[in-house]
Amino acid sequence: MKKLRKYAVITRISLQNAIAYRAAALSRFGFYTLFIYIFMMLWRAIYKEGSVHGYSYEQMVWYLIFTEFVGFSCGTGIFNAMNEDVKSGAVGYLLGRPVHYVLYQFFNSMGQMLLNFASFGLLAALLGYLFVGPLPGFTLARVPAVLLSVALSLTLHFFFLMLIGLSSFIMEDNTPLFLIYQKLCFMLGMLLPVEFLPAWLQPVAKNLPFSYIFWAPAKLFVGGDAGLFWTLAPRQALWCAVSIGLVFFVYGRSVRRLQVNGG
Amino acid sequence: MKKHLKIMACYFRLNLASALEYRSSFLTQAFGMALSNSSFIFFWWIAFSQLGGRIAGYSFEDVLFIWATTSAAFGLGTILFANASRLTTLIVTGELDAFLLQPCNVLVNVLCARTNLSAYGDLAYGFILMGLAFGGNADAWLWFLVGTAAGCLVYTAITLTAHTLSFYLGDASLIGQLATEFSINFSIYPEKIYGPAVRALMYSVLPMGLAIHIPLRLSREFSPLIALAALAGTVLYCVLAGLFFYRGLRRYESGNVMVTRL
């Protein structure tokens, strides 16, 4: 219980920090709005040319608003922060504290994630209503399942970013790893629903973790039923467990290689 | 003019030599950027394979053309003039002092003093994409090269103008970032997806349309009038950006900071 309390304090302080520096969020609001606007216009042009099976135009715009909302909610800069910690040697100071480094990073980012979730959630709802009106067929009964799915996808995304951040213990420049991960997420669910991919690629995408970060919660949001939730959520939970396990394993192995010089 | 070109060539040589000192970092950043750009082509491939035909009047080949030209123009602009996006930092921290004291053109000196390693990936990606999509189509290559040169200048002028606002408003880095994002996004999507107001913006305040969408139009059907108008618009915008910078520079107050440029 005492252990949990110290992590709760870390989260509280990080939330206070995030609120204090809320002006920095303004530029991210601008980018989010710009991105949604451009893709809304693009999909409008695409839907003018013909129909895209399975998704109406409104569903498609809400799908994008939702996947971007998940992406921006997880925007804590954890990859860069861990890179910087390892390269600058600051990780040495954190290792000496009475907290586990991985848990410290997770709870330290939680405050920013909570603020992002609330502020981008509001902005997402506002933009959706403004651009295409309410999501057809959406009922409040869908909310708990969607929230649980979002929580799982944020955890999954966060721990994958941490895993890539930890690679800086081994690699001098791990930016390409980050870019590859980011683009796999883009292609397998963030910009396009998995159903839009070629038939041969769909089963591959559904067996990889990347689709469960953006596609799964957005699919549940725009048109999911209880049956779909019970198909997607266990897979999300499984990939979460794998990513968390991998982070602790890699951290345990990497920290043994750590050499910090200087005084 | 000859002196300015000499300074630019000198900076380019030094920046490239410095980049090559850290060869693995240079190559991974360039490769990463090229890979990053490729994912958007995947998006377009899926979109066109869903529909076939055209989207907002653009075929898949047209989209590849604007992507290749934007990528090469942005790459060239940030290889040669990467410091444009750091102008706000130079003004706010007072580091601009160091540039004012040197016996050469301030604007050229400021813009060329830095390069961006990943920009080489953008430039290479533009050429590779053109090679794959258009092979030996001489017309397409000609307008691609014209678009790359014009886009490099217009992109730099937009970035410079946005950051020059720091002379007047204080820290204008947010405006600079937004101007960059808008410029790139106006270039890589078919212009007809946007409404008339945004399209007017693409040909006036942030005129990337002149450098990217006009060359595409000219490659389809050449019109000397449109070509001349685009050329005149590009030159005018760049000259105005330079004048705006020098006007703003008069308001600069030295930070009295000691800076070592290595």
In terms of CA atoms, which chain A residue is nearest residue B27?
Answer: A176
C-alpha–C-alpha distance, residues A228 and A220, integer Å: 7
Specify if A59 maps to a domain: yes
C-alpha–C-alpha distance, residues B207 and B234, integer Å: 8
What is the three-state SS of B124-155? HHHHHHHHHHHCCCHHHHHHHHHHHHHHHHHH
Q: Which of A31, A38, A191 sits opposite B43 (nearest CB)?
A: A191
Which pairs with CB-CB distance under 8 Å and at least 24 residues apart come from A27-35? A27/B174, A27/B177, A27/B178, A28/A72, A28/A75, A29/A119, A29/A120, A29/A123, A30/B174, A30/B178, A31/B178, A31/B181, A32/A68, A32/A72, A32/A120, A32/A123, A33/A123, A33/A127, A34/B178, A34/B181, A34/B182, A34/B185, A35/A68
Spell out the domain ranges in chain B: 25-45+57-249
Q: Which residues of A touch B35 (CB under 8 A)?
A: 176, 179-180, 183
**What pLDDT score does A218 carry?**
95
> What is the percentage of chain A residues whose pLDDT exceeds 70?
95
Mean pLDDT, range A104-121, rounded to an integer:
91
**What pLDDT score does B47 carry?**
84
Specify if A260 maps to a domain: no
C-alpha–C-alpha distance, residues B229 and A23, integer Å: 41
Whether residue B112 contacts residue B99, with contact meaning beta carbons closer than 8 Å, is answered with no
Specify if A262 maps to a domain: no
Average pLDDT, whole number, for chain A?
A: 88
Which of A129, A153, A161, A130 is closest to A246 using CA atoms?
A161
Whether residue A215 contacts residue A232, with contact meaning beta carbons closer than 8 Å, is answered with no
Q: What are the Cα distances from residue B201, in Å, to A93, B148, B154, B183?
A: 50, 20, 14, 10
Residues paired with B58 in a beta bridge = B55
Q: How confident is the model at residue A263 (pLDDT cuts 50, 70, 90)?
A: low
Query: Rounded to 5 degrees, what angle do the CA atoms A71, A73, A78 make?
Result: 85
Residue A197 near chain B (CB below 8 Å):
yes
Contacts (Cβ under 8 Å, ≥6 apart) of A56: A136
The tokens describing A68, both together, are 């971007």
User: Residues of B at the A interface (Cβ-Cβ below 8 Å)?
Assistant: 24-25, 28-29, 31-33, 35-36, 38-39, 42-43, 46-47, 49-56, 174, 177-178, 181-182, 185, 189-190, 192-195
**What pLDDT score does B68 carry?**
95
**What pLDDT score does A78 carry?**
84
pLDDT in tens, chain B (262 residues): 788 888 888 888 888 888 777 777 777 777 777 777 788 888 888 888 876 678 888 999 999 999 999 999 999 999 999 999 999 999 988 888 888 888 888 999 999 988 887 788 889 999 999 999 998 899 999 999 999 999 999 999 999 999 999 999 888 888 898 899 889 988 999 998 988 999 999 999 999 999 999 999 999 999 999 999 999 999 999 999 999 999 999 998 876 666 666 5
The tokens describing B166, both together, are 């720091």
Q: Which residues of B touch A55 (CB under 8 A)?
A: none
Which 3 state secondary structure label does DSSP give B101?
A: coil
Domain that holds residue A135: 2-255
Specify if A126 maps to a domain: yes
What backbone phi and psi angles, to 5 degrees, belong to B209? -60, -35
Q: How many CB atoms lie within 10 A of CB B192?
A: 14
Whether residue A212 contacts residue A235, with contact meaning beta carbons closer than 8 Å, is answered with yes
Residues B165-189: tens digit of each pLDDT: 999 988 888 889 889 988 998 899 9
Whether residue A79 contacts residue A164, with contact meaning beta carbons closer than 8 Å, is answered with yes
Q: How confident is the model at residue A17 (pLDDT cuts 50, 70, 90)?
A: confident
Which 3 state secondary structure label does DSSP give B243?
A: helix
Q: Which residues of A touch B178 (CB under 8 A)?
A: 27, 30-31, 34
Quote the number of domains for chain A.
Answer: 1
User: Reduced to 3 DSSP states, what percent helix, strand and coil does chain A have, rounded to the nearest 5?
Assistant: 80, 0, 20
Say whether B39 and A197 touch across the interface (CB within 8 A). no
Specify if A261 maps to a domain: no
The tokens describing B101, both together, are 């004291």
C-alpha–C-alpha distance, residues B96 and B252, integer Å: 9
- Tokens 């009047």: give the residue: B57
Specify if A167 maps to a domain: yes
- Tokens 């750091």: give the residue: B86
Residue A185 near chain B (CB below 8 Å):
no
Whether residue B35 contacts residue A180, with contact meaning beta carbons closer than 8 Å, is answered with yes
Contacts (Cβ under 8 Å, ≥6 apart) of B59: B48, B53
DSSP B84: G
What backbone phi and psi angles, to 5 degrees, belong to B58? -105, 135
The tokens describing B32, both together, are 């990463």
**What pLDDT score does B262 carry?**
57
**Residue, of B18 and A113, whose pLDDT is higher:** A113
Counted residue by residue, chain A has a size of 263
Decide: residue A237, CB within 10 A, 0-12 exposed, 13-18 middle, 19+ buried: middle
**Residue, of A89 and A108, whose pLDDT is higher:** A108
Say whether B194 and A187 touch across the interface (CB within 8 A). no
